[in-house]
Amino acid sequence: MTANPIGLSAAEIAQAVAARKMSALSVTEAALARIKQHDTVLNSFTDVTGDRARARARAIDAALAAGEGVGPLAGVPFAVKNLFDVKGLATRAGSKINRDLPPASRDATLIERMEAAGAVLVGALNMGEYAYDFTGENVHDGPSRNPHDPTRMSGGSSGGSGSAVGGALVPIALGSDTNGSIRVPSSFCGIFGLKPTYGRLSRARSFPFVASLDHLGPFARSVTDLALAYDAMQGPDADDGACATREIEPVTSLVGQGLGDLRIALAGGYFQQNVFAEAKEAVARVARALNVSETVELPEAARARAAAYVVTTVEGASLHLERLRTRPNDFDPAVRDRLIAGAMIPAPLVDRAQKFRCWYRAQVADLFKTVDVIIAPATPCVAPKLGQSAFVLDGVELPVRANIGIHTQPISFIGLPAVAVPVPLEPMPIGVQIIAAPWREDIALRVAFALEQMGVAVAPQPKGL
């Protein structure tokens, strides 16, 4: 009952716990010890919920001893970006201001569903302030750090989620993705991340950013673990007005079906511009493995990215308008200044962006009549250095923050499901997006699983941890 769970996948932990070869409590204690040992470097956790986790683990062990069912994630430690409500904690959402909120009275829906499947919450994770970030840096809590090189960014805004899973502190974490905030940290930290279809997973009792574009989803070190977590969290939820009423469509048993006759193409044009050599190499490796040479164009992708930018800055400004008036000096100044500018965009231009979104969705829907999967870079580069503000591409100096998400924004803008898969380049990994039509997470995960089986997409072990 005391075998070492570190390095095991969530699926392996759950099997061992269910078979009573390992206790949920011993798994929890091992995770808490690893967090204590390594998070001094990674800074991925803002809260460790040790007492709660131990109580939950003991309850799972007691249920097993009584012969009761415990769920497919029995004893699996997980953590959540600190914009998820965790009962008893103020939902800080990476901010200083929200620390004054009363403690949450109830967990977020997705935490409740993970725990109903047997998982054990061990804490809340660092993030960029109010999720308006691609770097994983945070002026209040310090940056979460890259597990493969702590002098580099974890990626944002779910930086702590990427860092904690990439550093193997927990096998599963949850995060949010408005413009790329699951796919970017997955890419930088060398792990798998799923941004489901917009409306697939409930956002109830999570702190919002951009209602039109906010998604929640899981991070893991394997596709099977990603699928297990995703399946545990699916289902309608009246507490999130954007959550679809679709029934649960489980994928875990489908991911191993193989590629079959899936029609796969590379995203061309916009998605092949502004990429460093490492991103080109990662996409090329995936394309070779999948034997893909066809290229498709997502029409007006640059304009889609621009429209996503506009909707984001305006809805973000609207959300924070009163806080900008009353507590401007308690924001990260860079976030505050972006939000104030966002408040000043004329309304007709926002309406145009939302109308363009419908036009673009229809164009891409037509594209999915001819292909099932589109491959694109997740980020234009590997993780930049912490504090780095610019990089030089093709002789042109570009701002880092504004360019990290250029390949993710046109995808989340219309809610397409995408799996970020890690390509283990040396010295730093980088991700590739596997993009499917709306509601076809199963297809994206099938392709990701096939790449994992081929050894092309692998979450590398963190160096020095």
Partner 1 sequence: MAADPLDDYIDALANALALPVEDAWRPAIRANLDVSLKLARMVDAFALPDETEPAPIFSA
Integer Cα distance of 361 and 367 in angstroms: 10
**In angstroms, what is the minimal distance from the CB of 403 to partner 1?**
12
Give yes or no for residue 380 binding partner 1 (CB under 8 A).
Answer: no
Is residue 359 involved in binding partner 1 (CB under 8 A)?
yes
- What is the distance of C-alpha 17 from the center of its chain? 26
CB of residue 371 to partner 1, shortest distance in Å? 23
Candidate segments 14-22, 24-32, 295-303, 429-437, binder of partner 1 by CB under 8 A: 295-303
Q: Could you give the C-alpha distances from 386 to 145, 269, 328, 432, in angstroms and in order?
A: 8, 30, 25, 22
Assess 361 for contact with partner 1 (CB under 8 A): yes
463: contact with partner 1 by CB under 8 A = no
Interface stretch with partner 1, choices 93-101, 177-185, 277-285, 331-339 (CB under 8 A): 331-339
**Residue 351 makes contact with partner 1 by CB under 8 A:** yes
The alpha carbons of the chain give a radius of gyration, in whole angstroms, of: 20
Are the C-beta atoms of residues 189 and 146 closer than 8 Å to each other? yes
Shortest CB 439 distance to partner 1, Å: 17
Which among 127-135, 148-156, 334-342, 418-426 is the span making contact with partner 1, rule CB under 8 A? 334-342
Residue number, 294 or 351, with CB nearest to partner 1 = 351
- 130 counts as binding partner 1 under rule CB under 8 A: no
307 touches partner 1 (CB under 8 A)? yes
Q: How many C-beta neighbours within 10 Å does residue 408 have?
A: 31
Pick out residues in 384-423 that bind partner 1 (CB under 8 A): 402
What's the closest the beta carbon of residue 276 comes to partner 1, in angstroms?
22
Smaller CB separation from partner 1, 406 or 421:
406
Closest distance of CB 153 from partner 1, Å = 21
Among 52, 54, 263, 303, binds partner 1 (CB under 8 A): 303
Subset of residues 196 to 255 that bind partner 1, contact rule: CB under 8 A: 212
Q: Which residues are catalytic?
A: 81, 157, 181
Q: Contact between 358 and partner 1 (CB under 8 A)?
A: yes
Count the residues of the shown chain that bind partner 1, applying the rule CB under 8 A: 39
Q: Which of 100, 239, 337, 366 binds partner 1 (CB under 8 A)?
A: 337
Among 209, 356, 368, 449, binds partner 1 (CB under 8 A): 356
With CB under 8 A as the contact rule, the residue among 300, 372, 441, 452 that binds partner 1 is: 300
- Point out which residues bind partner 1 (CB under 8 A): 212, 300, 302-303, 306-307, 309-310, 313, 321, 324-325, 328, 333-334, 336-338, 340-346, 348-359, 361, 402
